[in-house]
Amino acid sequence: MKTIGIGVLGCGNISDIYLSNLTSFFPYVTVEAVCDLDETKARAQAEKYGIGKVLTLEEMLADESIRIVLNLTTPKSHYPLTKRCLEAGKNVHTEKPLALNYRDAAELCSIAEEKGLLLGCAPDTFFGASWQTAREVIDRGDIGRVISGEAFFLNSGAEDWHPSPAFYYEKGGGPVFDMGPYNLHNLFNLLGPADGLFGMHTKGREERLITSQPLCGTKIPVEVPTHVSGLIHFASGAVISIIESFDAVMTSLPHIELHGTEGSLLLPDPNYFGGDVLLCKKGDTQWKPVSIGHPYGSNQRGAGVCDMAKCLLFGGTPRASGRMAAHAVEVMESLHLSWDEKRFVSLQSTFSQPAPLQGEL
């Protein structure tokens, strides 16, 4: 089978699941090389996953066997590194967020389009079995026209589990830029683009104490709001309430609920590919499980990269598109801006709703 060469840039915490899936699970991709500022990390991942080359970024950009750079660095490096890769003629799929502000995100999309390159961005959990099933339920009209919904992500932060959690509290981190993309990409897959919003935010603490290893006992400054609430109006007419928070000790809120003229849908955690999809039709009094009729029910991160590789081989637009991710960045930035400027924000950007997945990639 013909494959597309991938160069993985950034060999930290999340690189394991990508490398594991891209070297063993997904077709159409071959991981040619890895790269990290910390060469020991890159060497360790190359050895663990049987990857032939450990390269510097310059070497990766000059390597003709690499068609897609997979950018797994931390958020503030996404824009400069993705830009550099695009300018060197590489297609790029990056971890979220695409950039830290909409101006930069839109610039990346324009560069890719001008150069005829593909740009894609995580999260790709909407390729998952539950999310494709939910899309089918909505497209079939089972809940009618979607009127409203809720999308909630609340926890107490990352300093008790991530080995180097400082980036979660730097500009570009915070609950909206970290977890918002999961809610937003999944909502965008189901409902299409948004067109305006109100936001409000606050910060629980000015400092966080790391309790995970190896930095246990280190204090980190909090540069960003850590609790953000918003009301997002979608172009379809749906109004969605959203909360993204690192300031909740515990929660019993659902992940995502959608309410339509003919029924309600209760959806699983958008950080995952699988989970229960529950439907309550008008006239019923209880949730009923929807049978999951799609592949990819477990952690299949990398699906978006495989989809991009398929587009390079056979044509088409990657479902986890740069334009959709840029729209997510505009929404996330605007949730903050709305409260900073005490106003409703009309959104400028839009995107084409990703095509439903037909079977396996």
Contacting positions for ligand NAD (CB under 6 A): 9-15, 35-38, 41, 57, 72-75, 77, 81, 95-96, 164, 178
Phi-psi region of 359 (alpha: psi -120 to 50; beta: other; left: phi over 0): left
H helix runs in 72-150, sequence order: 75-87, 102-115, 129-139
3-state secondary structure of 234: strand
Q: Contact at 8 Å (CB) between 130 and 268?
A: yes
CB of 17 to ligand NAD, least distance (A): 8
CA dihedral 133, 139, 145, 146 (to 10 degrees): 40
CB of 270 to ligand NAD, least distance (A): 12
Nearer to ligand NAD, 11 or 290 (CB): 11
Nearer to ligand NAD, 176 or 266 (CB): 176
Nearer to ligand NAD, 57 or 280 (CB): 57
Side-chain-facing half-sphere of 325: CA atoms under 13 Å: 32
The CA distance from 181 to 300, in Å, is 17
Q: Which residues contact 182 (CB under 8 A, 6 or more apart)?
A: 123, 125, 153, 269, 270, 271
Q: What tokens were used for 122?
A: 């995580």
Nearer to ligand NAD, 81 or 266 (CB): 81
DSSP 285: -
For residue 30, how many other CB atoms are within 10 A of its CB? 18
Sign of the torsion formed by the C-alpha atoms of 113, 104, 124 and 130: negative
Q: What distances in angstroms separate CA 28 from CA 1, 23, 132, 242, 305, one per listed residue?
A: 7, 10, 21, 36, 10
CB of 57 to ligand NAD, least distance (A): 6
CB of 158 to ligand NAD, least distance (A): 8
CB of 291 to ligand NAD, least distance (A): 28
Q: Which residues pair with 148 in a beta bridge?
A: 239, 259
CB of 283 to ligand NAD, least distance (A): 40
CB of 28 to ligand NAD, least distance (A): 22
Q: Which residues pair with 152 in a beta bridge?
A: 243
CB of 38 to ligand NAD, least distance (A): 5
Nearer to ligand NAD, 35 or 228 (CB): 35
The CA distance from 28 to 2, in Å, is 6
Nearer to ligand NAD, 149 or 181 (CB): 181
Q: Which residue is nearest to ligand NAD (CB)?
A: 12
CB of 56 to ligand NAD, least distance (A): 9
The CA distance from 244 to 90, in Å, is 33
Nearer to ligand NAD, 84 or 115 (CB): 84
CB of 20 to ligand NAD, least distance (A): 13
Give φ, ψ of 272 to 5 degrees.
-120, 160
Nearer to ligand NAD, 40 or 261 (CB): 40
H helix runs in 140-233, sequence order: 174-191
Nearer to ligand NAD, 48 or 233 (CB): 48
For residue 140, how many other CB atoms are within 10 A of its CB? 8
Nearer to ligand NAD, 321 or 338 (CB): 321
